[in-house]
Amino acid sequence: MKNQKTYTLMRARQRDRRHLLRGAVAAAGSALLTGCDRLSSNEAFVDVLKSAQHLSRAAHKIVAPRPAMAQEFTPADVAPVFRSNGTLDPTDADYRALRQADFATYQLKVGGLVEKPAAFTLAQLRALPSRTQITRHDCVEGWSCIGKWTGVPLGLLLDRVRPLPQARFVLFRCFDSMDGPSLDGRDSRYYESIDFDDARHPQTILAYDLNDRPLPVSNGAPLRCRVERQLGYKQAKYVSSIELVESFSQIRGGKGGYWEDEGYEWYGGI
Amino acid sequence: METASATPVSAGLTGSTLQAPERRFYRHRLPIRLMHWINVVCLTILLMSGLNIFNAHPALYWGQGSTFDRPWVSIGAENTPSGPIGKTQIAGHDFVTTGVLGLSEVDGAQAARAFPSWATIPGPQWLAMARHWHLFFAWLFVINGIGYVLYSLFSRHLVRDLIPTKDELRRIGASIRDHVLFRHPTGEAAKRYNVLQNLAYLIVIFGLLPLIIVAGLAMSPRLNAVWPGWVELLGGRQSARTLHFLAAFGLLGFVLIHVFEVIVAGIWNEMRSMITGWYTLPADERRTAREEGRP
């Protein structure tokens, strides 16, 4: 009788302990989740998290210095269809007009902190020395696609316009409004920026051909940027003009690009 | 593990109650304890933020590029005549995983997402934020890991505690039997990691962890330029993403078994030893019985 009672008591205590343990694990789990979600909207904390990109970039520059080349592939590696992402068909009126004319009236304006601002038609760009490269495009989402790009090295255009000493970044302005054409005057056109290490890199080109054919609209016609050592969102499509700037902190959201303003890292090498 | 500083605290009889001889033993030194708990935090955040990143493109491939129409793993939602379902495809085999994978509840509503929100950091689908968490804690984890390896080498933790002796390796069969029967070492034997434990730790420290780090680095386009082509040693970038994912689940498997063993071996004693360093050696039943004159 007494033994039975002790046994029941023991079992109850064990059960309590098990419940306590299970409860503690569940409570810790939900505290972890709500805690992390709350921290994700705490600006100071997110700044601490984002500081890791400076460490990554500094480390990358040591192990893969400025001239380090991205891997190039063989024609056999080229994907049958190059996946397109982001804007697939800009609806902006100025772009539609250019497209209707087969981009014959397109002009790439290069200005900002330069000695000699210039504009280039597609025919002029095609007449300049070109570079062809088969490279792998890595999207921030996780997928990769291999394509063959032909275009004019950005460094060559920079030589023509002669950057001023205070110019630190190359900013690409694009035709496509990410939220569709603006109705309320809010500018949502895509834009991107890179530093001179990447701008002067031999594999950084303004591509007009993909897989030996004129760049399709879904991949950024008539001209898109290739920055081969960074993620896909750095490869601006539908480039309308290039501007050399000292800082991008006063431009749009101040983070140097459309996705950067939405919270992605400016440094897209990782 | 400190084998030299075992200190018998009490032994024998206390009043009329029989008590097993108790031996307190300083098992884990401060740096090991500290690095262990940093690992707990890092691994939890890395796994959960990694699942959120995976959700941005819930498919895995083998090779350099993605073969979008035939991933070897994909998780998604699908409409059927009887409503939406969650579906997981592995090597051509489909599994309905509604409620957990592909389709799960978020704030009372069904949402199409690969891993459910209770398993991801942050809870909502938010790639940019998940990357901030992941890439920050990846640095912390790697720095902690390098610190651990250096400490283990110089303090001889590696040679003394982690690498099994020839004798221990020879008795691996007995160790497997003990594990299956949930028999845990007692007395002096409990001072050393058992051989299966040794092998598990060594596989994680020198196998899974280096693999997950290298596969992670292989996904960085800039690091691909360190030596163009090195990523092919892993089978290509998409293979590296696959290996990173598999290694993560290998680590998750290790953690689940590790926590299970901690619970069955005596959760309070094990937890105390990883928090304060002090471990109470489980009594050696046979010897206790002999000393107490029991049959």
Q: What are the two backbone dihedrals, phi and then psi, of residue A69, each rounded to the nearest 5 degrees?
A: -100, 145
| Dist. CA A248–CA A253, nearest whole Å | 9
Cross-chain residue pair A69–B228, CB shorter than 8 Å: yes
Q: Which pLDDT belongs to residue A172?
A: 98
- Give the pLDDT of residue B15: 42
Contact assignment for B136 to A49 by CB distance below 8 Å: yes
Assess whether pLDDT exceeds 90 at residue B206: yes
Task: List all residues 6 or more positions away from A41 whose beta carbon is below 8 Å from its beta carbon.
Answer: none
Average pLDDT of the residues of chain B: 89
For an interface test with A, give the residue of B222, B223, B255, B263 to mutate (most A CBs within 10 A): B222
**Closest C-alpha among A232, A138, A261, A265 to residue B128:** A265
Position B186 scores a pLDDT of 83
Residues in chain A closer than 8 A to B229 (CB atoms): 71
Contact residues on chain B for A40, CB-CB shorter than 8 A: 121-122, 126, 129, 133
- The residue among A20, A22, A36, A194 with the most chain B CBs within 10 A of its CB, best to mutate, is A36
What does the pLDDT read at residue B107? Answer: 86
Does the pLDDT at position B10 exceed 60? no
- Looking at residue A79, what DSSP letter applies? -
The answer to whether the Cβ–Cβ distance between B139 and A77 falls below 8 Å is no
Taking contacts as CB-CB distances below 8 angstroms, the residues of chain A near B260 are none
pLDDT-derived band of residue B295, with 50, 70 and 90 as boundaries? low
Residues in chain A with CB shorter than 8 Å from the CB of B54 are 142
Percent helix, percent strand, percent coil in chain B, to nearest 5: 55, 15, 30
Low-confidence ranges of chain A (pLDDT < 50): 1
Beta-carbon separation of A142 and B54 below 8 A: yes
Hey, of B132, B213, B217, B242, which one would you mutate to test binding to chain A, going by the most A CBs within 10 A of its CB? B132
A69 to chain B, closest Cα gap in Å: 5
Cβ of B237 and A265 within 8 Å?
A: no
Closest CA to B59 of B100, B101, B96: B101
Q: Select from A239, A228, A267, A260 the least CA-distant residue to A145.
A: A228
Structure confidence at residue B285 as a pLDDT band (50, 70, 90) = low
Min Cα–Cα distance to chain B from A101, Å:
34
Interchain proximity B66–A145, CB inside 8 Å: yes
Is residue A178 classed as helix, strand or coil in its secondary structure?
Answer: coil
- Residues A115-124: contacts with CB under 8 Å, at least 24 apart: A115/A161, A115/A162, A115/A163, A115/A164, A116/A160, A116/A161, A116/A162, A117/A161, A118/A157, A118/A160, A118/A161, A120/A157, A122/A208, A122/A222, A122/A223
Q: What is the pLDDT of residue B21?
A: 56
Q: What is the pLDDT of residue B4?
A: 42
Q: What share of chain A is helix, strand, coil (3-state, %, to 5)?
A: 35, 25, 40
Query: In this structure, what token pair is assigned to residue A12?
Result: 């109850």
Q: Does residue A257 contact residue A234 with C-beta atoms inside 8 Å?
A: yes
Contacts 24+ apart (CB under 8 A), B204-213: B204/B251, B204/B254, B205/B148, B205/B149, B205/B162, B208/B247, B208/B250, B208/B251, B208/B254, B209/B145, B209/B251, B211/B243, B211/B247, B212/B243, B212/B244, B212/B247, B212/B248, B212/B251, B213/B142, B213/B145
Determine phi and psi for B63, rounding to 5 degrees.
120, -165
- Of the ranges A92-101, B34-43, B104-113, B177-186, which one carries the lowest mean pLDDT score? B177-186
Q: What is the pLDDT of residues B234-263, one digit of tens each?
A: 999 999 999 999 999 999 999 999 999 999
- Chain B residue nearest residue A138, CA to CA: B221
- The set of long-range contacts for B29-34, using a CB threshold of 8 Å and a minimum separation of 24, is B29/B2, B29/B155, B29/B277, B30/B277, B31/B147, B31/B151, B31/B155, B32/B148, B32/B151, B32/B157, B33/B274, B33/B275, B33/B277
Mean local confidence (pLDDT), B153-177: 92
pLDDT band at B3 (very low <50, low <70, confident <90, very high): very low
pLDDT one-digit tens code per residue, B53-94 = 999 999 999 999 999 999 999 999 999 999 999 999 999 999
Two tokens at B22?
A: 């108790």
CB pairs under 8 A between A and B: 137
Shortest distance between the Cα of B169 and any Cα of chain A, in A, equals 35
Quote the percentage of chain B above a pLDDT of 90: 77
Whether residue B132 and residue A50 make contact (CB cut-off 8 A), yes or no, is yes
Which of B126, B224, B238, B264 has the highest number of chain A CBs within 10 A, making it the mutation to test binding with A? B224
Q: Identify all chain B residues contacting A231, using CB atoms and an 8 Å cutoff.
A: 221
Are B57 and A56 in contact (CB < 8 Å)? no
Contact B223 A69 (CB under 8 A): no
DSSP letter (8 states) at residue B208: I
Q: Which pLDDT does position B282 carry in this prediction?
A: 81
Of all residues in chain B, the one with the smallest CA distance to A203 is B225
**B127: which residues sit within 8 A by CB, 6+ positions away?**
A140, A141, A264, B52, B53, B55, B56
Residue in B64, B223, B238 nearest the CB of A60 = B223
Asked casually if ipTM beats, i.e. exceeds, 0.85, the reply is yes
**B225 with A64: Cβ contact below 8 A:** yes
Q: What is the CA radius of gyration of chain B?
A: 24
Q: Is the dihedral of CA A245, A246, A247, A250 positive or negative?
A: negative
Tell me the whole-structure pTM to 2 decimals: 0.90
Chain B interface, Cβ < 8 Å to A: 44-45, 48, 53-54, 56-57, 59, 61, 64-66, 68, 118, 121-124, 126-129, 131-133, 135-136, 138-139, 219-226, 228-229, 231, 237-238, 241, 267
